[in-house]
């Protein structure tokens, strides 16, 4: 055990970290050394300077992403780096903390191993010090929410590309009159026909419980991958607006972080807009799968008038699960000339029939009657993918993948993280909390875990597993 006989009384840390977050007016500039002091004080200053250098370079993946964000605080008086604060908040969410007060309490009680891995500063005794709850709340209140969303999305996108990246890079056609994605078709074709392409779903969600600057509930528009269902881009919808104006900036921002040539983007009927089709295909050189409903009456009328009754079924799947029998079919036709929709190559009709067994008790009777409830629904849509680029089975998979963002992102945030019951209501903090939840869900999924709540229960009391998920070192560097 290290002897404490040489430590002066004023170098012993206080039991509360509030004093650590205040500016010491007599301490001089951050880079200066005290005129006189014990060797322990000198080591503490050197350790703090080394930690400040580490915040700029050499950090593990996620913390390095956080280090790229501008720190909203005045450089004078900073005691804890921004990557350390955001890393601890992410670890707290991974441990199942759902509210801001729960997160700050978890950080305050975090073990030395976690604080050391996050690069937290050390006091004169060489012990890592956690940021005070007030410091965390001030940082989150001043932080630019879009910057955090961009860095979190870029981190998850990099992980997605590492897991599903192709090793080949076929040459592209530089002719402006041709589709650049044609040069990459070799990636998604084998001897038996086309292969599924990388796909992402675009969908919005209300941040219920929060209040925007216009007094209304704010909305966020996000892009989530189909395969591992992680949010790779996110953007706030402007006040007194809808999702449509935010669509183009969202995808353009995504294109800045990755080559999305040849990707397939799915969306709900609210985004079946000609401008979106031109953007996806003409500018981003990707593909779209859109659903047509009554909000686009002319397009819907043309699709509904096609000879679906005489069109053979291109793909059929029958499943029995969750207490119901389900049958899905898709019929595909070439896009008719009268459709007049940008880059449309194929149109399709998807029909889903479900049969559920229901047990009901007749009124004024004790007998339980077993009945089967049949439900059928149909959806019309179109795509820029040609028959050589996507079969009926692929199109059915893309359409079904659109629901992944609802079932595996929005539902998890509402049920597991109780987002709609959050008491963080104003400023940038509600959106920052949403981004931290998306990041935690993505980290867990990219680690190979498909069930979020059981995974959180397994890791919440195991700092080693949390650090491993975040890609941080798991060896303690605490001086004792």
Q: What is the pLDDT of residues 327-347, one digit of tens each?
A: 999 999 999 999 999 999 999
Closest CA to 223 of 205, 238, 206, 242: 205
CB–CB of 103/97 below 8 Å?
yes
pLDDT at position 56 is 43
Q: Is 29 left (phi over 0), alpha (psi -120 to 50) or beta?
A: beta
Question: What sign for the dihedral angle of Cα 247, 249, 253, 259?
Answer: positive
Q: Which residues pair with 354 in a beta bridge?
A: 326, 375
pLDDT at residue 171 greater than cutoff 70: no
Q: Note the pTM of the prediction, 2 decimals.
A: 0.80
pLDDT at residue 418 greater than cutoff 50: yes
pLDDT at residue 351 greater than cutoff 50: yes
Q: What is the mean pLDDT of residues 312-324?
A: 89
The whole-angstrom separation of Cα 173 and Cα 186 is 13
Question: Which structure tokens are listed for 426?
Answer: 């104003």
The whole-angstrom separation of Cα 137 and Cα 77 is 16
pLDDT at position 30 is 38
Q: Is 193 left (phi over 0), alpha (psi -120 to 50) or beta?
A: left
**Sole residue written with tokens 């921002």:** 253
Average of per-residue pLDDT values in the chain = 82
> Pairing relation of β-strands 219-225 and 231-236?
antiparallel
pLDDT at position 475 is 66
If pLDDT is split at 50, 70 and 90, which confidence band does 48 have? Answer: very low
> Tens digit of pLDDT for each residue in 116-142?
999 999 999 999 999 999 999 999 999
pLDDT at position 365 is 76
The whole-angstrom separation of Cα 129 and Cα 120 is 6
* Cα dihedral value 429, 431, 432, 433, nearest 10: 90
Q: What is the mean pLDDT of residues 313-339?
A: 92
pLDDT at position 35 is 42
pLDDT at position 240 is 65
Q: What is the mean pLDDT of residues 279-301?
A: 95
pLDDT at position 60 is 67
Percent of the chain predicted with pLDDT > 70: 80
């Amino acid at each position: 055990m290290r002897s404490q006989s040489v430590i002066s009384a004023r170098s012993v840390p206080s039991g509360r970290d509030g004093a650590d977050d205040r500016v010491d007016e007599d301490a001089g500039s951050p880079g200066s050394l005290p005129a006189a002091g014990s060797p322990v004080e000198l080591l503490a200053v050197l350790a703090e300077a080394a930690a400040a250098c580490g915040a700029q370079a050499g950090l593990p993946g996620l913390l390095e992403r956080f280090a790229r964000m501008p720190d909203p605080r005045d450089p004078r008086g900073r005691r804890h780096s921004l990557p350390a604060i955001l890393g601890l908040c992410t670890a707290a969410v991974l441990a199942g903390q759902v509210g801001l007060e729960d997160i700050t309490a978890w950080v305050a009680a975090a073990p030395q191993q976690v604080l050391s891995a996050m690069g937290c500063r050390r006091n004169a005794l060489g012990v890592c010090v956690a940021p005070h709850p007030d410091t965390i709340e001030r940082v989150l209140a001043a932080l630019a929410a879009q910057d955090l969303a961009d860095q979190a999305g870029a981190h998850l996108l990099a992980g997605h590309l590492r897991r599903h990246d192709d090793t080949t890079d076929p040459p592209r056609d530089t002719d402006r009159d041709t589709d650049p994605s044609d040069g990459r078709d070799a990636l998604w074709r084998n001897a038996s026909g086309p292969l599924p392409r990388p796909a992402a779903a675009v969908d919005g969600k209300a941040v219920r419980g929060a209040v925007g600057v216009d007094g209304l509930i704010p909305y966020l528009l996000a892009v989530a991958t189909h395969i591992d269902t992680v949010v790779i881009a996110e953007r706030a919808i402007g006040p007194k607006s809808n999702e449509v104006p935010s669509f183009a900036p969202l995808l353009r921002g995504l294109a800045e972080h990755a080559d999305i040539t040849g990707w397939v983007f799915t969306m709900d009927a609210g985004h079946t807009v000609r401008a979106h089709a031109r953007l996806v295909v003409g500018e981003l050189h990707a593909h779209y799968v859109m659903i047509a409903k009554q909000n686009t009456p002319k397009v819907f009328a043309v699709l509904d008038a096609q000879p679906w009754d005489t069109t053979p079924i291109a793909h059929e799947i029958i499943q029995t699960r969750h207490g119901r029998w389900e049958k899905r079919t898709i019929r595909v036709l070439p896009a008719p000339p009268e459709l007049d929709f940008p880059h449309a190559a194929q149109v399709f009709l998807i029909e889903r029939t479900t049969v559920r067994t229901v047990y009901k008790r007749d009124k004024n009777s004790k007998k339980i009657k077993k009945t089967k409830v049949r439900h059928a629904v149909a959806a019309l849509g179109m795509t820029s993918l040609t028959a050589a680029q996507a079969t009926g089975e692929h199109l059915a998979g893309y359409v079904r993948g659109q629901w992944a963002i609802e079932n595996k992102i929005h539902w998890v945030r509402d049920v597991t993280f109780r987002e709609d019951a959050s008491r963080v209501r104003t400023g940038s903090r509600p959106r920052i909390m949403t981004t931290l939840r998306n990041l935690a869900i993505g980290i867990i999924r990219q680690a190979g875990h498909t069930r979020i709540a059981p995974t959180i229960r397994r890791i919440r009391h195991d700092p080693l597993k949390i650090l491993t998920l975040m890609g941080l070192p798991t060896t303690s560097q605490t001086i004792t």
